[in-house]
Amino acid sequence: MNGLRAILRVLGIVGWFVVGLWSFVLSLKIIVAAVGFWGGLLAFILFPATLAFVPWYAGVALDDWTLLLVTYGGGLLSGGLYTIGAKDD
């Protein structure tokens, strides 16, 4: 059973990394398309705010909820995998 827990923890960590990177790249594409290079550079520097607010902007202003689903849904799914793997008996 410990092997399964280790696998779930690793999947959770890898999932967080992959989803975070994917969300960040998609967010940067949206910002660059909306406000140009300098906005993209600012979004790159302020990346935590980018990951928090751009998915909501894409959903409300652009009517595309995919980024919100990827960012928050993927983070919750990865967190769930990690939590199940880290649970003690």
Q: How far apart are CA 11 and CA 78, in angstroms?
A: 7
Instruction: Please write the tens of the pLDDT for every residue from 42-73.
Output: 999 998 999 999 999 999 999 999 999 999 99
Q: What is the pLDDT of residue 31?
A: 95
Cα angle 64, 40, 61 (rounded to 5 degrees) comes to: 25
pLDDT of the residue at 2: 84
Q: Give the rounded percent of residues in the chain with a pLDDT score beyond 70.
A: 98
The whole-number pLDDT of residue 88 equals 73
User: Residue 29: which domain range?
Assistant: 2-86
Give how many domains the chain has, as a whole number: 1
